[in-house]
Structure 1
Amino acid sequence: MRANLRSAYHSGARRRLPGSEAIALGSRRALIATLLLTGASAAYAQDAQPTPAAPSVSPILSPEVEAAETPDTVPEGESDTITVTGSRIVRNGYDAPTPVTVIGLADIQASAPANVADFVNQIPSVAGSVSPSNTQRNLSGGAGGINTINLRSLGTTRTLVLLDGHRSVGSLATGTVDVNTIPQGLVKSVEVVTGGASSVYGSDAVAGVVNFILDREYTGLKGEFAYGETTYGDDVSYRATLTGGMEFAEGRGRALLSGNYVQRGGVFGAGPRDWKNRGVHLIQNPRYIAGNGEPEYMVAYKSGLNTTTGGGIITSGPLRGTYFGQGGTVNRYDYGPNRLNNLPWTVGGDWQLSQQYYATAIQPEEKLTSVFGRFSFDVLDNFQLFTELSYNRSKQHSWGGYHTDKANVSILGDNAFIPAAVRSQLNGAGFTLGTWNQDIPTRESNYDREVQRYLVGFEGSFDLLSMDWKWDGYYQRGIMNAKEALVAANRVKLGFAQDAVRDASGNIVCRATRDGSTNPLAAGCVPFNRMGIGVNSQAAVDYIMGTPYGDRRLQQDVASLNFSTNVDNPWLKPIGLAFGVESRKEKISGYVPPEYASGWYSGNFTATFGQYTVTEAYLETLVSLPWSFEFNGAARYTSYSESGDVVTWKAGLSFAPIEDLRFRVTRSRDIRAPNLSELFQGGARNTNSIGDPWQNNVAVRYTQTVTGNLTLEPEKADTWGLGVIYRPSFVPGLGLSVDYYDIKINGAIGTLGPQDIVDRCFTGNIELCNRLQAIIGTGQNARTIAYGTNGFTNATGPGAGVSEYLIANSPYNFLSNRARGIDLELSYGFDLADIAGSLGGKVSFRGIATRYLEASESNGVQAPTDTVGENGGNGPPKWTYRLTFGYALEPFSMQVIGRGISAGVYNNNWVECASACPASNTINRTIADNHIDGAFYVDTYFAYDVPIGKVKSQLYLRIANLFNRDPAPVGKGPSDTSNVDLGINQTFYDFLGRSFRIGVRFDI
């Protein structure tokens, strides 16, 4: 694929001009477009089209924009064939029936991201991607530090990420590719195919393809050094890239080496940001009683949990509300207006005692190092051998909040640490405590990943049957090694340590030590006081703390062989033809020390082992038809060792009734095969809390174990795409595109969340009840029971209710998903001199937006749930958009960007009401205010070219969130799992505030 592929949107008029006039106009427009991009004009180019090259004005940005004119304007000696990511067929003048968004180098540089994923995730068709900032509490799930791309909000596993058209090894067992592994300094463009492409590129392309294109032809030495920080002085970052390329053996050989280093300081404890003190949560309305017309839920400010404080609070019995402070002082908790009910939330009063914002990282600390090398040699004039080698290492450090126990700590009546003032009121009885254990260090995560990639391949051409053929092939091995390490407390040891009693000499010791316990974890037990802050020794802390870890290894082997040609058609344009075969093997293995498999607040790692193979063959064709029609079709046969055989296909038709107007329609069958995690997961565990419907939604801890399912089948998606592209010749430089998509997935793979399982069991779903067990009672009286006629509560037994749920979960092909929406793009660029000769400079405008119409999921039993506009979770928002204004007057260039999302709600199924509310149920809850504000941010970019001798250099300044807008308040809840959240959504809103990045680029 030629390096300077750009959209014809940059060309202006599409009318055909004879001879030299066409060439002159094409050159002028190419120059204008190049200058506009030098001024960092917007990055988006729907319907990428092959166009002849024009010289770049700024070698630093080197976008090499092409003017969209007729093929006869291709400069002598340049190839006139281009491969568009939406297709494997090589053909000049090809308009893809599947929309392709092209992001150019200039636009990436104008954003000056620490990682190119930060920019790609601002494309409106991308929503809900996983990033380090929204996985900081995902301590043992393996996703910490990962940067992913989520097209159409269908999930990162349904977006296929490619590097120069080749697959890359994933960094998670789900197969998700970490964009950190892309050689950042070599990316010259990113092509996004927003639509099904499984028939062209294989499994996982249900939502589309993101293809990172590298500048493989670069010669010289270039680099970039940048420094950034927020307006609060935190998240200090450094970025350095250095790339060198050279030719040898009289130009037959080429060597390319690129290195990238990024260090990001992160933000721990939210820093000095005022919004951290809002105390906003989604809670149960304290005035709500079923049938009284009050809304069940409400969004409350200055709210916090009353079931947990830093030094512990008694949560039941006559001493409820007694809490322990610094040095073990005994205090009385102020419950505020809802002090008479039994809800876990306090509004007003002592709400701040549960705040833990200083124990959580809103932006983890990161360190990325990568090296990429490519070496090629033209063995013959029409045959090249090449190899690519890369090494990437990413390290991430984060805080995940304190070790919280929500009203589930049993303090026995003879505990030696009970203060005398409290003991005198107990008459020998014990009590239940809630605490976030301020004396125990916050939970920490440390991820260390290494990704290696080795590739050997060839590409060339030959003549056969009077046709010119192109062929290429490669073998690639990718290896990912990860160590996931935590700093966490051991529950079993803490249980021994908190059970403190006096021995015969009156010394405070662990009961297990005094009574001679044979449990090996009791060895060396040091008593730990759960009642107070600053009341424990370092030895006590050291006894209960540990560093659980797990090692994970992924290996991917891929071999591919591809052919393409054009078959002469005496009546119309040649028929494009491409076909090929591919074989792939995915493998996972791991190691977890036995002592880290269970018993920890965070961690409890399990190793996963398994592998599967894939064999594929595909055929694609492009046929010109009479009356300006063009047909593109593809089919692929795929055989999975674990999931059976499947056929995918695509049919696209485009129609250009006039030169300025083109219509297109596509229909495709796409698939996603179950990944290594879904097939072989060894038993991933996580622990948190849910609202128990049998106990008036009081928070109850759960432990969930998720195992793989070898009976899974591939997901099947049917996709429609309809689009129109308009480039009026009477308004040079103006372009408009509108594309509608409709993706319906049958047999989608998924798991229900813990809260859903419990809620649906409560409403009578026996199948889900069979996945549940409950622990009744606490301590020595605890016992495990299955679901019964009266649910899990056994009021006559030793426990009054459930203290913990045990949930067995697995993925199944039980879901149906549907995603519908409209992509819009408007672009316009012109030379100010065309308006008035005295004016100088070039101006560009581009607006790109996606209107999400549906993002629904159905389990076949209940009505589909549509999440479009649910800004409190993963959305997507109804509208996402990006508007760009650029201006360039050499050597200066600038860009102003407006980006944002529309307002939304917490849940589309909830009913907003203030009074006379209808009956609330587990699906259609009632809420006082279901609104969540939208957001609009302004970014700026300024650049100045400063040549120093033969060195081309550029200084730049980027300011993101220029007006320092705070994130919209988003209350988490209503269960009390949200006590360490900050009341924001880090997926859709800017939470760092105004940030600056200054840098210098050079090219020798």
Structure 2
Amino acid sequence: MRMVSAASAMLAGVSMLALAAPALAQSSGVKTFSAADKASGGDAGGGEAAEVEAVVVTGSRIVSNGFQAPTPVTTMTSEALLARAPTNIPDALNQLPQFRGSSSNKQSVTWNANSPNQGNYLNLRGLGTTRTLILLDGVRVPPTSFAGGVDINTLPQVLVQRVDVVTGGASAAYGSDAMVGVVNFVLDKNFNGLKGSAQYGASTYGDANSYKATLAAGTSFAGGRGHIEGSIEHFNSDPINANDRENGQRFIQYTSRSQGGVQYSTTYQDVRFSSVTFGGYINSGPLKGYEFLPGGAIQPMAVGGPTTNPTYSIGGGGAYWTNTTMVSALKTDQAFGRVSYDLTDNINSHMQFSAAESRNQLNIRWDEHYGGSQNGITISRDNAFLRPEVVAALGSTNSFQMSRIGMMDTPQYKGDTLNDSGMINAGLDGKFSALGHEWHWDANYVWGRNQLRTNVNEFNSQRFYAAIDSVRNSAGQAVCRVSLTNPTLLPGCVPMNIFGVGAPSAESIAWAMGRSQYQAVNQMNIVSANLSGDLFELPAGPLSVAFGGEWRRQTLDETSNSDPAVASSIDYTGIQGKPNNVLPYNFTNIGLASGQVTVKEAYVEVAAPLLKDLPFVQSLDLNAAARVTDYSTSGQVMTWKVGVNYQPYDDLRLRMTVSRDITAPTLYQLYQGKQVTANLDLDLHTGASASYINEVGGNPNLTPEIGSMVVGGFVYSPSYFKGFTVSVDAYSLLINDAIGSTNQGLLNQECEQSNGTSPSCAYIIRPLPFSDRTPANNMQRVLNVQRNQAKVFQSGFDVEAAYLVPLEAISSRLSGRLELRGLASVLTDYSLKPSATQPRQGQLNYGNNPRISGSLEANYSNGPWSVRVAERWTGSAKRSRTTIFTNYDVQPNVNYTDLNVAYKFGAERQYEAFASVQNLFNVDPPLIADSANPGLQFPTNRAMYDVIGRYITVGFRFRR
């Protein structure tokens, strides 16, 4: 396996470079072409290369015929993307090794509705979704979640012509958030005719069924001066529950222990909670260790085998989780329309809109309560539903704590996330002659709005604790205590029996159940203008410039009925047994957020040909840009880039770029209201599992992150090896003032290593002095405040190659065309310095950061037939840098094989039938316990491995 991987890595520096450095049309009549087209003598724009008037390469604002940006750009056509993943374009992009840790319904941890990324969010180089700028035809797309980032499912996909991925800093060209790179979705704005598709897919297990239908139409009018086009599409994908797959029913989990300030974890199978049951477990008092049986009787709970953590056991009578979602349900509907009209021969106007709705639905978890925690249960001896023999066994004890997971008798929590997005773009563009050269200009107004709504059915804490605190009234009837002690607080309260599986009545569940809901509305207005052209001739060619400005205002308004900030003001008068720090809802509690930022920007970019047609200097070009950005929240910041292209002779081009880039804090990072979640984790200080409150909040004093990036490499197209192109680009990135909140594990670790003297200890709230290491001093609250506190270091290189050959050139007995492509991404360093007081911590070869990953593919076409075979590999990495796993400590490399077959027919081959098989050999995901709660998550790393298995898609496309 190692030899195969090494050989693949050497060959697969390979990529779509045959399609690299594409053109981005910005005005009417501009055709596009790619490096591959020029190398093979073709023309993607439908004519000869000499017909091209002007191009803009993604990553630059220069409009100039023949201009090549020094920043690496990988391009994939929509056809190539759909061959990789027929479901949708972002699924295909996530197969590229430059993307790591992206979020989607297949890759995300989907049991937590608190997560804003219930969609398809691209993560370039694993550095976070907000550090990659998403563009639609060169225009910034508004965020689609409260935490920033863009759900790619909401973008129109039917008319996408290609996707350009800039793997280098581009803030000087596009502004904030382009620190790591840019992903630009380029539309076919001159589509004529009618095209559509219909397809169906399913896994080899008969689940994850998907359906997709698309239709697009376009035509010219007014004698060719105008053009109108539009598209609609629908996609639906069914969910997969974890217990529908073999490993999802084996209750594979790791348990942790602390020794000498170091966390050790061991993976076991058939794990259960050792002090929680489905019917109720008594955690304190003389009956500690007993469980409630159906009907309310008690018996000692069957004790399972030991693990490294007393909270869990192997087997036994404890509770566990099941039926959580492994792949969430996804449904998207999209509509797009565009009208353009030539006002004069040199001025074009346009108006376009897009609207989309994306919905994710998932099973989250079941009702859970842990004795002694902030969501625990305390039962008084006068509870109406306690059996007399249980009360007698309590002796003089007035109350006891209880733990319960209601999987057997209460509804499962289900999350429903609806994302509605709309975008309007209106503007003018044109050209004119000045200074003896042609100049191009454009002016645009963009309005975008996104509304994210999430709701979860779960117990309302006030009602739940009122319902379980039941007593007998004077008539001997079971009633809520609050109905006697504070009758106006919760009229109609229905008492709930929670002693034994099946005890809660449907009426009491319905009364106590609520819906935690939150809504985030992002809105953005953008006004921009750009001008580009040639100033004058230099000895080696024209001096090209581009300059312009942009004004934008972004607002965020988040509302919630589960704001944890109001938890202390909820009235529990007359209710006994309410725990301290209880939240409004048992699980999902989201705070409020409201704020806005206004941004003003101005930039200038220059492309200067320095030398030309000299010995060993066929061309030497300089590209430089600078941008001033003024934020209403944090003031001015400057970004810049300097790049060179050096071509010593026809076959070889060398390129290098140095840039200073920024990522601005999101409105949520600035203005997030206090948000708290209930967590259960190992406390390094006490060595015991601790149930604690994790509290995060915004910080209006945040400033932009500052990135310094160097990218350098070469493109080689040997004249002696026609059809072959290879590129290698190395990069190094340093992010200063990186925004983040130090998590509980790092805070705890730093505090322990300092023996309680580190400032980090102030963020961990305990009831007793630091010297006390008993479980009584477990952490109760962890404060995570967003700060400009970290540094991020990453370096590596990308290798891309393509070989295109007509087979008759090899042998007259062969026919058809063969194209070999591949891509590899290699990390040489990835490390973090979480704060000024913490050391630099290596992340390379840990978690989702394998040293090398990539893909190889072969495409064969002959007449109406085409066949594609692809091999992609994940790379391998250890589980964790901070935790020592005593078994299953390595996430192994896995190879996946994909197969696509298509047949075109009809008089002009305008119809196409196709079949696609992803993960052809049905490779199972490696066994990796991914949760500290038994059965909660499917045991693998979904961000790294395919969890669906062999997936077959068949469909039909047409174009007329």
Same fold (TM over 0.5): yes
Letter in 2 for 1:579: F
Answer yes or no: is 1:745 the counterpart of 2:735: yes
Q: Partners in 1 of 2:491 and 2:106 — Cα distance?
A: 39
Report if aligned partners of 2:679, 2:692 keep a CA contact under 8 Å in 1: yes
Report if aligned partners of 2:664, 2:703 keep a CA contact under 8 Å in 1: yes
What residue in structure 2 maps to residue 248 of structure 1? 221
- Residues 94, 354 of structure 1: CA spacing in aligned structure 2 closer, same or farther, 3 A cutoff? farther
Q: Partners in 2 of 1:270 and 1:977 — Cα distance?
A: 14
- Residues 423, 76 of structure 1: CA spacing in aligned structure 2 closer, same or farther, 3 A cutoff? closer
Aligned to 1:458, what secondary structure does the other structure show?
strand
Q: Partners in 1 of 2:392 and 2:19 — Cα distance?
A: 75
Aligned to 2:669, what secondary structure does the other structure show?
helix
Letter in 2 for 1:405: H
CA deviation map 1:218-257 (0-9, x unaligned): 0011011111111122221111111010100000000011
Aligned to 1:679, what secondary structure does the other structure show?
helix
CA deviation map 1:263-294 (0-9, x unaligned): 12212x22531121332222136xx8769xx9
Q: 1:731 aligns with which of 712, 721, 737?
A: 721
CA deviation map 1:942-1001 (0-9, x unaligned): 111121x5671101111111111221122235xx45651222221111111111111110
Report if aligned partners of 1:690, 1:755 keep a CA contact under 8 Å in 2: no
CA deviation map 1:817-844 (0-9, x unaligned): 1111111123222122122111122212
- Residues 991, 519 of structure 1: CA spacing in aligned structure 2 closer, same or farther, 3 A cutoff? farther
Q: 1:625 aligns with which of 584, 604, 610?
A: 610
- Residues 604, 319 of structure 1: CA spacing in aligned structure 2 closer, same or farther, 3 A cutoff? same
Report if aligned partners of 1:136, 1:399 keep a CA contact under 8 Å in 2: no
Letter in 1 for 2:822: G
Q: Partners in 2 of 1:715 and 1:701 — Cα distance?
A: 31
Letter in 2 for 1:552: A
Report if aligned partners of 2:868, 2:900 keep a CA contact under 8 Å in 1: yes
Report if aligned partners of 1:139, 1:486 keep a CA contact under 8 Å in 2: no
What residue in structure 1 maps to residue 923 of structure 2? 965
Answer yes or no: is 1:436 the counterpart of 2:401: no
What residue in structure 2 maps to residue 156 of structure 1? 129
What RMSD in Å do the two structures reach over aligned CA positions?
2.9
Report if aligned partners of 2:18, 2:725 keep a CA contact under 8 Å in 1: no
User: Which aligned pairs between 1:644-723 and structure 2 lie closer than 5 A?
Assistant: 644-702=635-693, 704-723=694-713
Structure 1-normalised TM-score? 0.85
Quote the sequence identity (%). Answer: 31
Q: Partners in 1 of 2:104 and 2:49 — Cα distance?
A: 45
CA deviation map 1:612-637 (0-9, x unaligned): 11111111111122233221111111
Answer yes or no: is 1:516 the counterpart of 2:485: yes
Instruction: Flag structure 2 segments of 5+ consecutive residues without an equivalent.
Output: 1-13, 26-32, 568-583, 612-616
Aligned to 2:780, what secondary structure does the other structure show?
strand
What residue in structure 2 maps to residue 609 of structure 1? 594
Q: 1:394 aligns with which of 358, 364, 375?
A: 358
CA deviation map 1:332-366 (0-9, x unaligned): 44433328x8611213x338x533231x1111122
Aligned to 2:146, what secondary structure does the other structure show?
coil
- Residues 51, 698 of structure 1: CA spacing in aligned structure 2 closer, same or farther, 3 A cutoff? closer
Q: 1:584 aligns with which of 552, 573, 581?
A: 552
Letter in 2 for 1:851: V
Aligned to 1:667, what secondary structure does the other structure show?
strand
Q: Partners in 2 of 1:585 and 1:656 — Cα distance?
A: 42
Aligned to 1:132, what secondary structure does the other structure show?
coil
Deviation, 1:50, is 6.1
Report if aligned partners of 1:234, 1:271 keep a CA contact under 8 Å in 2: no
What residue in structure 1 maps to residue 245 of structure 2? 273
Report if aligned partners of 1:63, 1:106 keep a CA contact under 8 Å in 2: no
- Residues 226, 42 of structure 1: CA spacing in aligned structure 2 closer, same or farther, 3 A cutoff? farther
Deviation, 1:162, is 0.2
Deviation, 1:717, is 0.6
- Residues 851, 289 of structure 1: CA spacing in aligned structure 2 closer, same or farther, 3 A cutoff? closer
Deviates more, 1:661-670 or 1:623-632: 623-632
Deviates more, 1:317-326 or 1:469-478: 317-326
Task: Give the total of aligned pairs.
Answer: 906
Q: Partners in 2 of 1:927 and 1:855 — Cα distance?
A: 24
Deviates more, 1:590-599 or 1:491-500: 590-599
Aligned to 1:577, what secondary structure does the other structure show?
strand
Q: Partners in 1 of 2:827 and 2:405 — Cα distance?
A: 40
User: Which aligned pairs between 1:156-175 and structure 2 lie closer than 5 A?
Assistant: 156-175=129-148
Deviates more, 1:763-772 or 1:163-172: 763-772
Aligned to 2:661, what secondary structure does the other structure show?
strand
Q: 1:66 aligns with which of 8, 23, 37?
A: 37
Deviation, 1:91, is 2.8
Deviation, 1:755, is 3.6
What residue in structure 2 maps to residue 885 of structure 1? 858
Report if aligned partners of 2:272, 2:934 keep a CA contact under 8 Å in 1: no
Q: 2:467 aligns with which of 493, 497, 501?
A: 497
What residue in structure 1 maps to residue 570 of structure 2? none
- Residues 508, 44 of structure 1: CA spacing in aligned structure 2 closer, same or farther, 3 A cutoff? farther
Q: Partners in 2 of 1:317 and 1:884 — Cα distance?
A: 65
What residue in structure 2 maps to residue 381 of structure 1? 345
What residue in structure 2 maps to residue 992 of structure 1? 948
Deviation, 1:396, is 1.9
- Residues 195, 46 of structure 1: CA spacing in aligned structure 2 closer, same or farther, 3 A cutoff? farther
Answer yes or no: is 1:899 the counterpart of 2:872: yes
Answer yes or no: is 1:860 the counterpart of 2:836: yes
What residue in structure 2 maps to residue 805 of structure 1? 780
- Residues 51, 672 of structure 1: CA spacing in aligned structure 2 closer, same or farther, 3 A cutoff? closer
Answer yes or no: is 1:562 the counterpart of 2:533: no
Deviation, 1:327, is 5.3
Report if aligned partners of 1:49, 1:93 keep a CA contact under 8 Å in 2: no
Answer yes or no: is 1:820 the counterpart of 2:795: yes
Q: Partners in 2 of 1:169 and 1:321 — Cα distance?
A: 54
Deviation, 1:187, is 0.7
- Residues 300, 806 of structure 1: CA spacing in aligned structure 2 closer, same or farther, 3 A cutoff? same
Q: Partners in 1 of 2:912 and 2:36 — Cα distance?
A: 19
Letter in 2 for 1:866: G
Q: 2:264 aligns with which of 296, 305, 308?
A: 296
Q: Partners in 2 of 1:282 and 1:638 — Cα distance?
A: 48
- Residues 926, 264 of structure 1: CA spacing in aligned structure 2 closer, same or farther, 3 A cutoff? closer
Deviation, 1:444, is 1.3
Deviation, 1:153, is 0.9
CA deviation map 1:475-518 (0-9, x unaligned): 011011222211111223222222233333333332323x4225
Aligned to 2:244, what secondary structure does the other structure show?
coil
Answer yes or no: is 1:526 the counterpart of 2:494: yes
Letter in 2 for 1:835: I
Report if aligned partners of 1:225, 1:1000 keep a CA contact under 8 Å in 2: yes
Q: Partners in 1 of 2:309 and 2:191 — Cα distance?
A: 68
Report if aligned partners of 2:519, 2:559 keep a CA contact under 8 Å in 1: yes
Answer yes or no: is 1:452 the counterpart of 2:422: yes
Aligned to 1:678, what secondary structure does the other structure show?
helix
What residue in structure 2 maps to residue 16 of structure 1? none
What residue in structure 1 maps to residue 310 of structure 2? 343
Deviation, 1:734, is 1.7
- Residues 882, 250 of structure 1: CA spacing in aligned structure 2 closer, same or farther, 3 A cutoff? same
Q: 1:464 aligns with which of 434, 439, 448?
A: 434
Letter in 2 for 1:270: A
Instruction: Flag structure 1 segments of 5+ consecutive residues without an equivalent.
Output: 1-40, 53-61, 775-784, 911-924
CA deviation map 1:138-180 (0-9, x unaligned): 6443525321111111100100000000011111233311111
Structure 2-normalised TM-score? 0.89
